[in-house]
């Protein structure tokens, strides 16, 4: 069934119906100027399902609730990279760990828990774990756990493989590549690299939809990374999300936003440390 059989695209009503459904399920707004992207992704899925009209696919989405996961997967933008915004990872190695050492001193606890709320294909949570482990060096006794969540099941599948090609590895300094990755063959002539077990075991992958009314997690994270995902939500959803996340950060812990999204953190008992990094100093409500 060639792609051209689907005609010139979605009607205005069909576009509205699909984008409303996507918004209700995920909070993601698909703007009018991304209609072509939506069409091409819907068509790809429809070809796989052998459905030949957009209306047939829309009906199918309502008959098969699990199909909504594919729909959201198809519109989520998973662009990411290792050590994206390097200053955030420098912060983890330095000031963040110093603050934790102080907060934990005399408590008997040496646990560090971090949540990457839109972890995409894993580069962000693995960069977090590597940075903290590098910062701890040979200091013994610390227990690090990183919750890596995303709405996209295909992105989470990549996170589970923990295997990246040469292009993805570009952001990883050579010394860290040698220390934290092992060669994992090649695919299509491209060398693959797998994150070592000592880092992988710190990561827990989960599908969590930030738009859901409740999340299956307990509060008290030492840091939450919520980077490059707020842009997909509308203004009121962005504000609500920042406040909700703030409730999951431990007092004295940090919320990390992408620098361009930094402005949204100026509330909720948060104090700006440096662009994108906020310290929780009070409560939100
Ligand atoms: C551009 S990537 C950002 C990845 C990473 N945080 C970074 O900064 O490199 C955005 C991610 O947000 C995820 N996402 C979008 N809407 C979401 C939602 N409602 N709940 C959870 N994740 C969502 C997408 O699946 C995608 O993996």
The pLDDT tens digits for 47-97 are 999 999 999 999 999 999 899 999 998 888 899 999 999 999 999 999 999
DSSP for residue 33: G
Look at residue 74 in the predicted model and tell me its pLDDT: 86
Q: How far is the CA of 228 from the centre of ligand 1 (A)?
A: 7
Q: Verify whether residue 41 is a known catalytic residue.
A: yes
3-state secondary structure of 85: coil
Its sign, for the CA torsion 94, 98, 99, 104, is positive
- The model's pTM is 0.93
Work out the burial of residue 23: count CB atoms within 10 Å of its CB; fewer than 13 is exposed, 13-18 middle, 19 or more buried: middle
Q: Which residue has the higher pLDDT, 131 or 27?
A: 131
Q: Is the CB of 232 under 6 A from ligand 1?
A: yes
Does residue 193 line the site of ligand 1, with CB under 6 A?
Answer: no
Q: Whose CA is nearest to atom 3 of ligand 1?
A: 228
Ligand 1 neighbourhood includes 158 CB (under 6 angstroms): no
**Atom 2 in ligand 1: residue holding the nearest Cα:** 78
* Residue found by looking up tokens 């409730």 in the block: 247
Active site residue: 45, 103, 150, 227, which one? 150
Give the E-state strand segments of the chain in sequence order.
111-116, 143-150, 163-165, 181-187, 190-195, 203-207, 221-226, 249-257, 270-274, 277-280
Give distance in angstroms: CA of 118 to centre of ligand 1. Answer: 4
Using the 8-state DSSP alphabet, how is residue 220 labeled? -
Structural domains in the chain, CATH included, are 3-75 (1.10.155.10), 86-280 (3.40.50.150)
Q: What is the pLDDT of residues 140-171, one digit of tens each?
A: 899 999 999 999 999 999 999 999 999 999 99
285 confidence band (pLDDT: 50, 70, 90):
low
């Amino acid at each position: 069934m060639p792609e051209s059989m689907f005609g010139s695209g979605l009607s205005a009503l069909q576009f509205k119906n699909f984008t409303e459904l996507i918004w209700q399920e995920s909070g993601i707004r698909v703007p009018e100027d991304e209609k072509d992207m939506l069409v091409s992704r819907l068509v790809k899925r429809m070809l796989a399902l052998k459905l030949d009209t957009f209306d047939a696919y829309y009906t199918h989405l309502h008959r098969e609730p699990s199909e909504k996961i594919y729909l959201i997967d198809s519109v989520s933008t998973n662009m990411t990279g290792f050590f994206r915004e390097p200053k955030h990872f420098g912060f983890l190695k330095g000031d963040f760990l110093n603050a934790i050492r102080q907060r934990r001193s005399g408590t008997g606890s040496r646990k560090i828990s971090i949540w990457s709320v839109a972890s995409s294909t894993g580069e962000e949570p693995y960069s977090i774990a590597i940075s903290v482990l590098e910062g701890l060096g040979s200091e013994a006794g610390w227990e690090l756990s990183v919750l890596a969540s995303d709405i996209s099941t295909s992105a989470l599948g990549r996170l589970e493989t923990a295997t990246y090609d040469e292009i993805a590895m570009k952001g990883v300094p050579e010394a860290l590549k040698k220390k934290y990755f092992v060669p994992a063959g090649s695919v299509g002539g491209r060398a693959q690299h797998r994150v070592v077990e000592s880092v992988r075991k710190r990561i827990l992958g989960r599908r969590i939809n930030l738009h859901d009314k409740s999340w299956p997690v307990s509060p008290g994270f030492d840091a939450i990374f919520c980077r490059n995902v707020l842009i997909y939500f509308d203004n009121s959803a962005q504000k609500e999300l920042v406040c909700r996340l703030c409730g999951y950060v431990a007092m004295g812990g940090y919320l990390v936003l992408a620098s361009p999204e930094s402005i949204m953190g100026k509330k909720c008992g948060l104090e700006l440390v440096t662009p994108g990094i906020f310290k929780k100093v009070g409560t939100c409500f």
